[in-house]
Structure 1
Amino acid sequence: MTRKGSRRANSVRLAGTKPAPAQALFIDHDLQADEARVGPHDRLTRAEVLALLPASPLWPPGETKASRDRANKRLANAAKILDWLEKHPGHGWQERWRAAGADRGKEVVLTAVLGDHQTDGQRDGVIAGLNCLMLSRIVLPGYGFLRGYKALLLFKQVQQMFPAGDLDTIRDHGAGLGMTPRHVDEGLRLISSMILHTGRDLHELAAEDVFQVRARGRRMQGEAFVGTHSAWELLRGVGAIQSKDTLKDALRHGQRPTTELVDSYNIQSTEIRNVLVRYLDERRPGVDYGTFRGLVRELAGVFWADIEAHHPGINSLRLPDDVIDGWKQRIVTYVHARSGEVKERRSRIDVMMRVRGFYLDIQEWAHEDPFWAQWAVPSPITRGDGAGNQKIYKQTTARMHQRVRDRLPHLPVLVQTAERVHREAADLLDAARATPFDEVFEHGGTSYVRELLKVNQVPSRLDHGSPHVFIRTVGSTGRRINQSLVEDDAFWSWAVIETLRHTGVRAEELTELTHLALVSYRLPETGEVVPLLQIVPSKSNEERLLLVSPELASVLATIIKRLRDANSGKIPLIARYDSHERVTGPMLPHLFQRRPYWQPQVMSEAAVKHRLDRTLEATGLRDQAGQPLNYTPHDFRRMFATEAVTGGLPVHIAARILGHKTLTTTQAYLAVFQDDLVRTYRGFLDRRRADRPQDEYREPTEREWHDFQQHFELRKVSLGTCGRPYGTPCQHEHACIRCPVLQLDPEQRPRLIEIIRNLRERITEARANGWLGEVEGLQVSLNAAMVKLTNLSRATTDGRPQLVDLGMPIFTDLPRQGSKPLDDREFS
């Protein structure tokens, strides 16, 4: 089952289908939303704005002269900013803000208001005035401006404007989910940014605002802003977002309609687009969704979208030779999406065969459905285009074998490193837990201090009785370390490596393992109970059972105990999202689940790969080119198969364990080393010798050695050499002319002819005297002699066989063409 496919933003909304996630709608339209975004007081005059600012609940009270002076300075600086904005065109303050380029950063505002010569006091005053304008929503800054503004005080002031009790409700909700104070603060800062950016109140924020800020973060820095998931959960807790889903669930969407998948490639020809949609709809029921997306990508994207890009206006499946020849040359390489490098497309033969299948299917369907008749044209991909597939397959197999040979010798180092890293992380965590807060402790020759998290200078109640343990190296000014998370990462890295190497399962199958997959089986002969591990259908859609070895049983027991200890004796039931089929599974006790932050979740295949990479960094292993050695989860599958077969497991049993349908697939996994061949053969010899009588391996006596030498002395006969094995009797009673093991000497050809002449004379004499029994015996010898002479005639002068053109068969007693003909005169 193919697991390849392309994920692209969906741009088409179809009636009757689940809409694309809301964040996809903002990816292309957030700039237009910025243009229409204005505050509630955007059209006020300068005087009205200055009169509005003191009405803010955060405005300094005028009870003392100092507070009145501070308020007047803040008002004066706000007036300076308004004076600067009025110099730019626009119908409101937001348009003037954009026209002035203020969203490029606070330095633009400071330089415009203060000039090049600025003091710290002047800068603080202008920033205070700017804060007043943003808090009163006179101007709505962009997310890029707020990211560079770093105004923690401004965000706290926004939070103070929340409705009464909402801030405590938000913090209590975050604590109830298991959030650390840092996660709560990150979510609150992002919520504050959303309020300043949109000009809405806390309860006016919606899920679309979170989708928009996530899309903007991915556009600006390649990933969502820190605190996006926290903000979503906190807004759910306060009732602003009416959804039972987490942000991950809200962003996920199910299987998309065929029309939407095809339209993501922007096919220009409506007719061809409709043909592709109808063809793919016909194929869809017979394949899984991952394979189907790959088929859409190859036919609509790699094939037809490329044809249209280089030959605009083409509107027929009947492609000219130059068009299809150019396409065949282009698919040899492709541009990597991330690195931009031009790489060889190893699947190009498969792509061409799928295009060929597309044309051949239409030709076949045209006999039954008239719709396809107009599109039934000869396939531009011939059968010969797939001739190189076997070569590519062998190259891929050789490359995979080399990967196994490079990585299998380093597997013990990887396993030992995973065990060591986890042991060290667990020991440090135990030492930190045994240390009171703000106390120094020694571990491994390094001094650490256990830190007590504080929120607004108040010790966090979450830190007491929480599994999160924070430490910092004494004298270090770096970030604090969540040692609980470090130990958790190390444990799951060890668990992933151990499970992969003991089972040989795929990464997807690893993440699907549940507590229910452990079953027992009682052997009918002995009554012994053996544990089995059930592998649910995945790539091959076939269920299989694996015998649990003692080592694997220890790993699984450790995982189960860890999950139970962390969850009051039970394994939590959580749903797993299948990224290939785009569906969310039922609530099950998954084994490879963890709580990296506050939400329990099943490991993804990317997380499994990340665990391997983190452990490899600790090993420091390098390949032959000096580059860091990398492992993939599938490398463990190949290494498992190689070790199992070289250890004596029959190949067909290994194929059953791995879930392969054919032995050919399993054989491609086996990278047998030459030294393994030698060891295996030597082991075979040792086992064979152990089964044979020991007398055969003693030192020969003088008589036995004399008999052995005499045997070879007696092998010499008049016509050549006897090929009879040592220790065997002569079955033809020394009638060498009849014996098939006689090795003729070409120089004895005249002697053999003389023997044949003599046999004929004796047969004539015996017939004349009526010795019919003698005639029969002599005739057998004559026939054998003639066969030997014929074979000898076919040999060249140097004794090697001569190549003969057999030609058409001729029914005759004469020798075949190419042999030296027998002349009856030789026997006369």
Structure 2
Amino acid sequence: MTTQALTAERSTHRLHSPEVTALLKNFPPRRAGQRWEATEQSREQVRERLLTPPFRLASSAPQSRRRTGLTKTLAWLEQFPGQTWQERWNASGADAAGNIAWRQMAISWLQSTGWSYQDPKKDFDVLGSGILVLISGDVIRPSLPWLLTPGTVQILTAEMARARDPRGFAALAAVCRTDPANAHTKNGAMRRIATMTAAKGGTVHDITVGDCLELAEFLSARGSRSTDTSPYYYQLLHTIGALPEGAPATVRIFNPKNLGQISIEQMIDRYHLACRPVRDLLVDYLRERAPALDYTSLRTVAFALGKLFWKDLEDHHSGIDSLRLAPDVAAAWKRRVATKTIRRKTADGDVVEEQVPRGDHGMNYLALVRAFYLDLAQWAIDDPARWGVWAAPCPVREEEMSRKKERSGRKSRIDQRTRERLPVLPVLVKTVDTERRLAAERLAAAQAAAPGADFAVAGQRWHRPLSKNPTARVWAEDPETGRRLDLTQEEHRAFWSWAIVEVLRHTGLRVEELTELSHHSLVQYRLPATGELIPLLHIAPSKTDAERLLVISPELADVLSTIISRVRDTKGAVPLVVSYDGHERVWNPAMPLLFQRHFGVENRPIPVSGIRQMLNDALSRTGLTDTNNRPLTFSPHDFRRLFITDAIMNGMPPHIAQLVVGHRDINTTMGYKAVYPEEVINGHRAFIARRRATRPSEEYRTPTNEEWEEFIAHFERRRVALGDCGRAYGTSCIHEHSCLRCSLLRPDPDQRPRIEEILDNPRDRIAEAEREGWLGEVEGLKVSLAGAMQKLAQLDERARQTTTVNLGIPAFRDIASRTVTASKDPS
């Protein structure tokens, strides 16, 4: 099968990104022609050219084998029809047969004509030598499938570099010598370049972007290993200037994961919905909402409606074709959407599936389905002919969308997370700074040491090993443990971990905004009154599509200047790099991004996943643990919460903090701020102090001796026979000292026997009054009896309250000052 056929077959299963489609249109691959000068030569001309320099070998034995192989191969090809050697090659079926089978075909012919050796293995080897020189001499051009047969291109690179294009392959080899990539990657890239020149003809500088895309597509369709599908060959070609102007500067566009944006139809069709009318409805609905949504939100709506809603209904209710759901169907669907299926490994290594609740119990997806039904109902009023047939009662009621409890729990968890991390932020800052300095000193000392020598840094001895294949990376060994360490990679990680922590903690940026910081983000503002220059950091629109400016502090200025000094090239400029927006799935234009690194022979932006990984690596070296004694982790967004909490606690007004961090609603900003118990206590005490300061001063004057004696005497007068009286200071008794009837009496436990004796007297008097018919006196005695019984009940209640029971509840100081601990001082 030809390369073009394989590419077409693969394209039916793989979605091309818009970038790849545009590149294939602007830079089409070269067609495999049938006629060119070298392939039209006669047999004698071909032999004369290919048996002389630069094709002639210096050694006599290999040259003799090459002469024999060339003669036999040309004789075998001459029996097939065609005006050129390429036409004869195609007619022989050798290209479709592959590199091994075609030799068996040729050997059979040689045996029938008496041209073969007695040992078929000799013919096998000489035919390989003959076809190799025909390929390097551009007499025949096999297809990519033939050239990529295992074992074919092992020596093709050396032959093409010696005979076809010495200057082009020498330039590639020079780049490889300075590139820190491993030898396997470099050798594979050189073989790919040799394969393209053999299949399409010409030299290294004749290779086009379309040729590279075609090769990448073929390797992906063939299902090669990841190491074999590396597009590093494009990187080398772009570096030496072999590709034409306008060619993309990055090889990452060949990554199958970067498929770019897909159409609305493709978003829905990947779920294979059975009901065509509902499928068309979902497509129309998404197309109506697309202008108001970004690409990420549009994909989320498509997933909710196509996968979680309608596809789920079709899986559980075969033949369903109406949006009007029965109550039991709707209830069952809502239960399913509240959970998700995850895969995990058991202790035995088996992979099992289990259902776990979604983080928000599927409420976000319920909201999208509810919006779908309500939109259809509203649109049915405006355009009944188009949408009226689909209007139906919404299966998600409004009361089911209450998020008060979920938001409260989320706020509590986030605040606790912030309270755990804010106290240990200085430890993390000190650790990353120490690691950065130590890694830089270790790398500098290793570079100054000769290979095979020892060197010492910070009291630790290291050995720089000898290497048979020197690379741009610097390695070191620990003489005691034998552990090898890539000092170049360690210094790279230590520096960028420090830069990430410093920029995030000083700015509170989102991680996407951090990756988009560029040299153009640094601007200046001159104060009109004083003429002072204020350095500002321009934050490009991201989540809220609103740009903002941040004042650059002296500490942040030092960090940014260090980053710029590191990434500048030899000309003093920040290199332009192309970044991929994973949310919108588009390639951004080349910009001088600050967070970039040298990857191979090109500069690449540091991705979000790399930022998270470096943060976790830095935290693992601190030894910090959380309240559950597990290793503490930081996400980039944690620094945003820490920045807001620290700013507001140190006096920044919340509405200013809202503008600094780019929130649309001040309630969002206050939701990011964690509440501390000591903050509440201190705030309450400050309120009391302010209130006292505003009260009349005469209320806080020093009392006279008479007033003090009167106040003290009041407490003496509060003591009564049965306990203590709770009447206000300066007031008289309004109950005529009937204490048992008074609610202000606080009985003394020691007077319990006396109260019990008093109870007997009202009972006897009540019996006598009822016997004599004194009804008025009966009512008064019953009030006294009830008062005495109430006082006894108060005594019983106080006795129960004084008995303490340990419930195991932590004290306030234990929950108000939770901290994390470090196992050791990282310094």
Fold similarity call, TM over 0.5? yes
Is 1:344 matched with 2:357? Answer: yes
Match of 1:377 in 2: 392
Equivalent position SS for 1:637: helix
Is 1:229 matched with 2:223? Answer: no
Instruction: Please give the alpha-carbon distance, in whole angstroms, between the structure 1 residues aligned to 2:330 and 2:129.
Output: 63
* Structure-2 change in CA distance of 1:69 and 1:170 (3 Å): closer
Q: How far off is 1:183 after superposition?
A: 6.6
Instruction: Please give the alpha-carbon distance, in whole angstroms, between the structure 1 residues aligned to 2:685 and 2:155.
Output: 77
Q: Spell out the pairing of 1:70-219 with structure 2 (5 A cutoff).
A: 146=150, 155-157=157-159, 159-160=161-162, 162-171=164-173, 174=175, 180=179, 182=181, 186-193=185-192, 201=201, 207=210, 210=213, 213=216, 216=219
1:505 maps to which of 502, 509, 531: 509
- Could you give the per-residue CA deviations for residues 110-153 of structure 1, whole angstroms, max 9, x where no partner exists? xxxxxxxxxxxx9999999989888969897799985xx79966
- Could you give the per-residue CA deviations for residues 727-775 of structure 1, whole angstroms, max 9, x where no partner exists? xxx8xxx7999xxxxx9989369xxxxxxxxxxxxxxxxxxxxxxxxxx
Say whether the 8 Å CA contact 2:577–2:604 is kept in structure 1: yes
Is 1:544 matched with 2:559? Answer: no
Equivalent position SS for 2:594: coil
Q: Which blocks of at least 5 consecutive residues in structure 2 are unaligned?
A: 1-9, 25-31, 36-42, 73-91, 104-119, 136-140, 346-350, 744-786, 794-827
Match of 1:275 in 2: 281
Equivalent position SS for 1:545: strand
* Structure-2 change in CA distance of 1:185 and 1:272 (3 Å): same
Instruction: Please give the alpha-carbon distance, in whole angstroms, between the structure 2 residues aligned to 1:335 and 1:638.
Output: 31
Is 1:661 matched with 2:660? Answer: no
* Structure-2 change in CA distance of 1:253 and 1:96 (3 Å): closer
Structure 1 range deviating more: 672-681 or 392-401: 672-681
Q: How far off is 1:276 after superposition?
A: 1.5
- Could you give the per-residue CA deviations for residues 543-580 of structure 1, whole angstroms, max 9, x where no partner exists? 3333433332332232234345x454333444544332
Is 1:592 matched with 2:599? Answer: no
Instruction: Please give the alpha-carbon distance, in whole angstroms, between the structure 1 residues aligned to 2:334 and 2:238.
Output: 53
Q: Spell out the pairing of 1:510-529 with structure 2 (5 A cutoff).
A: 510-520=514-524
Is 1:260 matched with 2:266? Answer: yes
Say whether the 8 Å CA contact 2:68–2:130 is kept in structure 1: no
Equivalent position SS for 2:550: strand
1:638 maps to which of 638, 641, 659: 641
* Structure-2 change in CA distance of 1:492 and 1:214 (3 Å): farther
Q: Spell out the pairing of 1:267-666 with structure 2 (5 A cutoff).
A: 267-336=273-342, 342=354, 343-347=356-360, 348-369=362-383, 370-387=385-402, 389-435=403-449, 440-444=454-458, 445-449=460-464, 468=472, 470-473=474-477, 483-520=487-524, 530-564=534-568, 566-623=569-626, 627-666=630-669
Match of 1:757 in 2: none
Percentage of matched positions with identical amino acids: 32
Instruction: Please give the alpha-carbon distance, in whole angstroms, between the structure 1 residues aligned to 2:673 and 2:224.
Output: 43
- Could you give the per-residue CA deviations for residues 54-86 of structure 1, whole angstroms, max 9, x where no partner exists? 97999996975697689999999xxxxxxxxxx
Q: How far off is 1:294 after superposition?
A: 1.6
- Could you give the per-residue CA deviations for residues 679-730 of structure 1, whole angstroms, max 9, x where no partner exists? 666787899999999999999999886454245557899x985546xxxxx8
Q: How far off is 1:476 after superposition?
A: 11
Structure 1 range deviating more: 204-213 or 342-351: 204-213
Q: How far off is 1:522 after superposition?
A: 6.0
Instruction: Please give the alpha-carbon distance, in whole angstroms, between the structure 2 residues aligned to 1:237 and 1:699.
Output: 92
* Structure-2 change in CA distance of 1:650 and 1:277 (3 Å): same
Q: How far off is 1:592 after superposition?
A: 2.3
- Partner AA of 2:334 in structure 1: K
Say whether the 8 Å CA contact 1:23–1:211 is kept in structure 2: no
Give the alignment's Cα RMSD to 1 decimal. 5.9
Equivalent position SS for 1:595: strand
Instruction: Please give the alpha-carbon distance, in whole angstroms, between the structure 1 residues aligned to 2:693 and 2:126.
Output: 93
Q: How far off is 1:22 after superposition?
A: 6.0
Match of 2:38 in 1: none
Equivalent position SS for 2:464: strand
Match of 2:741 in 1: 747
Instruction: Please give the alpha-carbon distance, in whole angstroms, between the structure 1 residues aligned to 2:220 and 2:479.
Output: 35
* Structure-2 change in CA distance of 1:96 and 1:602 (3 Å): closer
Q: How far off is 1:329 after superposition?
A: 2.4
- Partner AA of 2:280 in structure 1: N
* Structure-2 change in CA distance of 1:415 and 1:699 (3 Å): farther
Q: How far off is 1:427 after superposition?
A: 0.7
Corresponding pairs, count? 671
Instruction: Please give the alpha-carbon distance, in whole angstroms, between the structure 1 residues aligned to 2:59 and 2:438.
Output: 60
Structure 1 range deviating more: 319-328 or 272-281: 319-328
Say whether the 8 Å CA contact 1:188–1:231 is kept in structure 2: no
Q: Which blocks of at least 5 consecutive residues in structure 1 are unaligned?
A: 1-8, 26-36, 41-47, 77-90, 103-121, 456-462, 725-729, 738-742, 750-794, 801-828
* Structure-2 change in CA distance of 1:188 and 1:248 (3 Å): same
* Structure-2 change in CA distance of 1:233 and 1:385 (3 Å): farther
Q: How far off is 1:636 after superposition?
A: 1.5
Instruction: Please give the alpha-carbon distance, in whole angstroms, between the structure 1 residues aligned to 2:231 and 2:563.
Output: 30
* Structure-2 change in CA distance of 1:746 and 1:477 (3 Å): closer
- Could you give the per-residue CA deviations for residues 496-554 of structure 1, whole angstroms, max 9, x where no partner exists? 01111222211011122234434455668887665443333221223333343333233
Equivalent position SS for 1:367: helix
* Structure-2 change in CA distance of 1:697 and 1:326 (3 Å): same
- Could you give the per-residue CA deviations for residues 229-257 of structure 1, whole angstroms, max 9, x where no partner exists? 34344268574777510322465565443
